[in-house]
Structure formats: C-alpha cells, structure tokens
C-alpha cells in the first residue's frame, strides 16, 4: 500500500482555499465540505485530511499526528512551534497591524493598553521600540476593545480593512506581512519525504 500523507487543514475559509490548491494538484477527497465530519481520506491519492482549529494546526504537526499542515505566519511567530516551513502557499495574505480609533496619537507617558490575540507578537513589537505596554489578551472581536475604552489600540490582522472601517478604527502602524505556510515536522518529513516532495512538486 502507498504512503498516506496526513494533512491538518485550518477550519474555515482559508482552509477551504488551501484544500482547493491540494485538489487541483490531484489530492481531492469526496464530500470534504460535508457536514460535521472532521477526517477525510482518499487512499488512491495517498492523502488524509483533518479539519482542525487554525491555531491548533502546528500542534498536530509538531507532535506528528499530521505530516504537513497549513498555517498562517502569525501563528508560527506567536507560538514558535518546533516545525519546518516547506513553502509559502501565497494565500491568506494579510497584515499584522496596530490599529486605533481615528486620530489616535501615542503620546501618553502611561503604558499603552494593547488588546490582542497575539500577545507575543505585540510584546516583541513594542519591546523593540522600548514602549511599555499593558497587554489585554482577548480571543476574538478585538476591534471592540478600543470602542469600549478597554484598550488604547489593538494588534490584529487586517485583510480588506472592512472590519476596521466598520468600527471607526484605522491602521496606526504596520507590524508585518502575513501569508499561509505549509509546515512539516522533521521525523514526518524524513519518513515520508518522497510522498511529501511529490506533493510539493504538484502544488
Ligand atoms: C480577522 C481579524 C479581523 C478581520 C480582518 O478576524 O481578526 O477581525 O479578520 O479582516 P478584514 O480586514 O478583511 O475585515 P476573524 O474573522 O478571523 O475572527 P476573530 O474575530 O475571531 O479574530
């Protein structure tokens, strides 16, 4: 029997885009968007997909439950998992930014109150500038924080800018460009390098 590559895909729009790249490369799977099932396999193509929470993708790959996974650069920088980047998939392109209410200026002598999901990225960014901050860790809908006065600014991802505009916020500073990376772990790659290299060629 041929090798099966186990692929961790982030649930949601991004994972669907990545799956379509795999499908076009000859790794399609029937009914993969069907209902609540989480594991899909195509033995002939030599592939098995798992739908997982986006921030969990590197955990599956790091521990070898998945041989490869698709994961944003934001997650790799935030959690620093022990994985290898095989390729920039060139999708999921967005920016990590500091955003604030229109007209905001960081002129206070107090620690800047920063709401974010990306605590480490925010901390690294501000410590490189020597600016003291007070981090407020949130898990979603970050844009609400400055509206309610919970924070001065947010550190978050911006793609179209629609969410910022709809909430009267604007980009205050750029932190970095983000895109989706195909990742693997050392032992999985060593063990299945022929199959993974074939996948890379076809993608
Ligand atoms: C992300 C991000 C922004 C939004 C940016 O949120 O956190 O809120 O997308 O996209 P835009 O610039 O195109 O409007 P996501 O949908 O992942 O949900 P979240 O609230 O859980 O972060």
Pocket lining for ligand 1, CB < 6 angstroms: 140-143, 156-163
Contacts of 195 (CB under 8 A, 6+ apart): 2, 3, 5, 46
pTM: 0.92
What pLDDT digit, counting tens, does each position of 13-54 carry?
Answer: 999 999 999 999 999 999 898 778 899 999 999 999 999 999
Q: Which atom of ligand 1 is nearest to the CA of 142?
A: 20
- Token pair 């999921």 is at which residue? 92
Q: Are 185 and 62 in contact (CB under 8 A)?
A: yes
CA of 94 to the centre of ligand 1 (A): 10
CA of 111 to the centre of ligand 1 (A): 26
- CA-nearest of 155, 168, 169, 142 to 95 is 155
CA of 74 to the centre of ligand 1 (A): 13
pLDDT reading at 136 higher than 90: yes
Q: Are 199 and 25 in contact (CB under 8 A)?
A: yes
pLDDT reading at 1 higher than 70: no
CA of 160 to the centre of ligand 1 (A): 9
């Amino acid at each position: 029997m041929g090798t099966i590559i186990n692929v961790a895909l982030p649930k949601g729009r991004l994972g669907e885009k990545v799956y379509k790249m795999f499908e076009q490369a000859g790794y399609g799977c029937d009914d993969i968007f069907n209902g609540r099932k989480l594991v899909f396999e195509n033995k002939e193509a030599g592939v098995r997909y798992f739908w997982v929470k986006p921030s969990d993708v590197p955990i599956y790959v790091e521990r070898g439950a998945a041989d490869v996974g698709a994961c944003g650069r934001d997650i790799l920088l935030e959690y620093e998992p022990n994985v290898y980047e095989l390729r920039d998939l060139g999708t999921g392109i967005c920016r990590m930014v500091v955003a604030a209410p229109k007209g905001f200026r960081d002129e206070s002598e107090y620690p800047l109150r920063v709401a974010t999901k990306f605590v480490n990225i925010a901390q690294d960014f501000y410590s490189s500038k020597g600016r003291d901050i007070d981090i407020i860790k949130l898990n979603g809908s970050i844009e609400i924080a400055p509206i309610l006065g919970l924070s001065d600014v947010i550190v978050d991802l911006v793609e179209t800018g629609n969410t910022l505009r709809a909430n009267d916020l604007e980009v205050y500073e750029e932190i970095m460009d983000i895109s989706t990376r195909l990742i693997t772990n050392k032992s999985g790659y060593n063990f299945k390098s022929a199959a993974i290299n074939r996948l890379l060629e076809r993608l």
